[in-house]
Amino acid sequence: MADDEIIARFWRGIDEHDWDLIASTLADNFERHGMYGTEADTCRGKANYLRFVSGVIGRMDHHTLKARKIVRSADGRQAMAECIETIRAGGEDDLVMHFMNIMDLNGDGLIERLDIFWKTPPRLPPWWITPEAILNAAD
């Protein structure tokens, strides 16, 4: 069975902006399927994801992400995490977003897939929070 703490460590790494901690929880073939459900909002590969998430958070004036609840499947290969993320970008007011994240783990207990579902906030986050926008801007 996978390490029960790996999911909590992933979310703590996001909240603390600890890229090494995040990297230690991800499989090399990690995939992030974002809240828009489009190819532009999909990120494939551990290295690309780390570039993406650090690029997004690096553009924020403020960022926090708290995992409120984590539930694991009986076989330990899937987890669901309820999270609350607060961002402030471009001098705008704080935007609080509520997410449910479904995570798949491989046989080594590393996260290989993150699928993000969210409650629609009162306003949408900045348009540039997609892997396509962040990763292509660095090229």
Question: Under a CB-based contact definition with an 8 Å cutoff, are residues 130 and 34 in contact?
Answer: yes
Q: What is the reported pLDDT for 12? A: 97
For tokens 């997004």, what's the residue?
Answer: 56
The yes-or-no verdict on residue 56 having pLDDT over 70 is yes
Q: What is the pLDDT of residue 35?
A: 86
pTM of structure: 0.84
134 pLDDT higher than 90 = no
pLDDT band for position 2 (cuts 50, 70, 90): very low
pLDDT for 1 equals 39
